Amino acid sequence: MEQVSANRSHGGTQGVYTHQSTATGTAMTFSVFVPDHAPGAKLPVLWYLSGLTCTHANVTEKGEFRAACARAGIIFVAPDTSPRGDDVPDDEGYDFGKGAGFYVNATQAPWATHFHMRDYIETELPALIAAEFPADMARQGITGHSMGGHGALTIALRNPGRFRSVSAFAPIVSPMHCQWGEKALTGYLGADENAWREYDACALIEDGARLPDLLVDQGEADNFLHEQLKTGLLVMACRKAGIPATVRMQPGYDHSYYFISSFMAEHVAWHAERLKA
């Protein structure tokens, strides 16, 4: 692991790091904010997964999470959204290929060589965080935006007991039923829709996966709400499964980081309450 940059902020250190990933076969970049803490102390970890076209930098620069994380004593980890590099295949569209890994393990050529973002987020990067940072891996939360909200929900549903808290900003709740998801899942996994279900939050819930509770914020003025995000499907799935879900429709807010940053501190505080020792 190499440090790319380090900056003091809000009584903590914001770092950016790079390392060679065995999961993707490429160099991967991620950011970590570590609040000041007593020597030897271990801090809870909040994962943030970003959306289409984003890197680690979007939330790092625009998410406005550091003050809230410093108050709560929470490490904030922001990975990239896909493998990068000249040898990594890409697509002309913004919603597939580089910047659009959808947090899956691709099985179809040419994507299967590098697009193993599920393994990277679920296994490889957590091991690195545990080894290199003062992280209490028994106290983890996860959140994300849009495609990253899809990632946060599906990773938490597939790994019961790993995350004490789960939230999302404007998540893609059912990739099997929207254009973004259908394109990505077909391209990465093939045409068999049974293989898609483990990457669809609503399908996972239907198949028996559960969360202890859930917080979701969604902007009512989000232009992707009805065609791509389909928040109502998650509301119905949680209600049917008995999952306590607080889904807040926020009037006037869109899909941007103006929306995310407006509610980030509330999400950090919500996670902090559930990540107490």
Range of the domain at 16: 2-275
Q: From the CB of residue 236, how many other CB atoms can be counted at a distance below 10 Å?
A: 13
Domain at 161, CATH number: 3.40.50.1820
The count of structural domains within the chain is 1
Mind listing the pLDDT tens digit for each residue in 49-108?
999 999 999 999 999 999 999 999 999 999 999 999 999 999 999 999 999 999 999 999
Measure CA 221 to chain center: 22
- Catalytic site positions: 146, 222, 255
Please, which pLDDT band fits residue 277 given cuts at 50, 70 and 90? confident
Q: Which residue, among 111, 110, 109, 108, has the nearest Cα to 100 in the 3D structure?
A: 111
